[in-house]
Structure 1
Amino acid sequence: MAEAMIQTRDLRFCYTDTEEVQPVVLDGVDLDIQEGSFVAVLGHNGSGKSTLAKHMNAILLPTGGKVLVSGMDTADEALLLQIRRTVGMVFQNPDNQIVANVVEEDVAFAPENLGVPPEEIRRRVDDALKAVGMYQYREHAPHLLSGGQKQRVAIAGVIAMAPRCIVLDEPTAMLDPVGRREVVDTIKKLNRASGVTVVLITHHMDEAAQADRLVVMSSGKIIADGPPKTVFQQVDALRAVGLTVPETTGLLWELRQAGLDVPLDALSDEECAQALYQLLTKE
């Protein structure tokens, strides 16, 4: 089995920056994310998924329990730089991560701050922009790009740091459907072609369905964990915590409730269409 990239052990967290007693945001989370995997973390607002993401490269530190990044304890201040080199973060709003007036200069910003040699920076910038399909825009001004293109530039800026893991905290929340598809396709390609560990925080069912593994959170706890095809079959349990399921699963579930023999694991549009075709053409 692959080495664990991120491990949480009885991870607990509550915000303590006010005098009021704060609710527990993470409540005993145990999670292992293997190197090279593509994991989606799904949950509604307030479920704890973004707080969990911020623990993965020590933006937040545990109130209780432990987080290990490639074996490094995030609570060890001496390891902070190495942890953040290992795990890169991409956030909701790409405008908050873009700092330069030219695309290639923006992507070069982080490697320059890490002291990477100039010739190596040039190679990393070109490779990162090619990896996200933005190389032809390298001399453009970022503010003239679409939302999806800006987010891909933000991802390229993280790739140029050469992290082994990228955590994306709702990276498509501010994008239109075209931009969302661009970003998710980029994430999948990065994982498949480069072997980068990807953790995608999302509340979009269709995005979560494209991961290899799906972790569902509610009220600071993990309530489901497994392949998307398996997790989404738990329709009643997901609806009980305010989550829907993909339209394909929902349709097949309704047909099952009506007594028809259809599979619940036909997740993609093509698989669902095939299941319906077989149902209609049965003798």
Structure 2
Amino acid sequence: MSDAIIKTEHLRFAYAAEGGLSPVVLDGVDLEIEEGSFVAVLGHNGSGKSTLAKHMNAILLPTGGKVYVDGMDTCEDADLLDIRRTVGMVFQNPDNQIVANVVEEDVAFAPENLGVPPAEIRKRVDDALAMVGMSEYAAHAPHLLSGGQKQRIAIAGVIAMRPRCVVLDEPTAMLDPIGRDEVLKTIRLLNREYGMTVVLITHHMDEAAQADRLVVMAKGKVIADGSPRQVFQRVEELRAVGLTVPETVELCWELRREGLDVPLDAISDEECAQALYQILK
């Protein structure tokens, strides 16, 4: 195996339906996620991105092809516990993942179920809450927290299992802009400061732009894969599958169509402003 912590080979999947299989949701996906990387998977509803996410820790199993987690075949029952220890999942709705009435008890829930010794659980809970910036809320009731805070507690609960990779399936979908910002900062911190592999499933361009690598899905296939700078230059291809690009790229693209020589890889506001300044100068 390569350095890939997650690898899919010709992955196909169709949900079972009465009278046979329903339409194919994943159609021959070949993907390698390198250990320590921050990868965003971008696509519309129905593109297959959430179904792909659920294959990454064996919530779903392929109807064709293979998925490997750290070299383990997800179809091997004997490896299931190790697979789920390696790859943790965070879902859209934090209320579905929070199980206890006190924050620190919630974060301790998964390690307790894994049979981790009490002293080690205490350390893991403290570490996980510190990593998501929620230490001061350890004794709080989760239901009294904001949406962004709840999602950070849900992330802490996954981190306490000490996975090497965290897959987040649209973790900001139910949050306001402040909550989204909090969660994205936490995700970047996990990757940059703690070296955790992060896979972020999203349909927000601005979230996808923050990853090191961007995988775009449409109709169950990968249609683009590269750095956000590379992928967002393919404005017309993305538009063809109903996706937009960041407003900065859109502006530069429109100016280029008018014959102005501006770069299409100016993703941040600062880069875009600098590009415009150069033209006006």
TM-score interval, normalised by the smaller of the two chains: over 0.9
Distance in structure 2 (CA, Å) of the matches to 1:19 and 1:114: 39
Q: Matched residues in 1 for 2:181 and 2:257: separation?
A: 32
Return the offset for 1:36. 0.2
Is there any run of 5+ residues in structure 2 with no aligned partner, and where? Answer: none
Aligned match of 1:148: 148
State how far apart, in whole Å, the 2-side matches of 1:150 and 1:47 are.
27
- 2:89 corresponds to: 89
Q: Is the counterpart of residue 249 in structure 1 residue 246 in structure 2?
A: no
Deviations 1:94-137 (A, max 9, x none): 00000000000000000000000101000100010010010011
Q: Give the SS at the match of 2:66.
A: strand
Distance 1:234 1:150 in 2: 36
Tell me the SS of whatever aligns to 2:167.
strand
C-alpha contact 1:26 1:221 (8 A) present in aligned 2: yes
| Aligned twin of 1:39 | 39
Secondary structure of residue in 2 paired with 1:190: helix
Deviations, residues 48-67 of structure 1 (Å, cap 9, x unaligned): 00000000000000000000
Q: In the alignment, what sits opposite 2:165?
A: 165
Is 1:208 the equivalent of 2:208? yes
Contact 1:2-1:35 at 8 Å conserved across structures: no
TM-superposed CA distance for 1:20, in Å, is: 5.2
Any idea what SS the aligned residue of 1:15 has?
strand
Q: Secondary structure at the match of 1:24?
A: strand
Residues 111 and 160 of structure 2 are in contact (CA less than 8 Å); yes or no, is this contact kept in structure 1? Answer: yes
CA contact (8 A) 1:102 1:142 kept: yes
TM superposition shift of 1:260: 0.6
TM-score between the two structures when normalised by the length of structure 1: 0.98
SS of residue matched to 2:23: coil
Deviation at 1:45, TM superposition (A): 0.3
Give, in angstroms, the shift of residue 2 of structure 1. Answer: 7.2
Structure 1 window deviating more from structure 2 (242-251 vs 272-281): it is 272-281
Give the stretch that moved more between structures: 103-112 or 271-280: 271-280
- In the alignment, does 2:218 pair up with 1:228? no
Distance 1:171 1:16 in 2: 26
Q: CA deviation at 1:21?
A: 4.2
Partner amino acid for 1:151?
Q
Residues of 1 paired with 2:176 and 2:58: CA distance?
Answer: 30
1:40–1:110 Cα change, 3 Å: same
Q: Give unpaired runs (5+ residues) of structure 1.
A: none
RMSD, matched Cα: 1.0
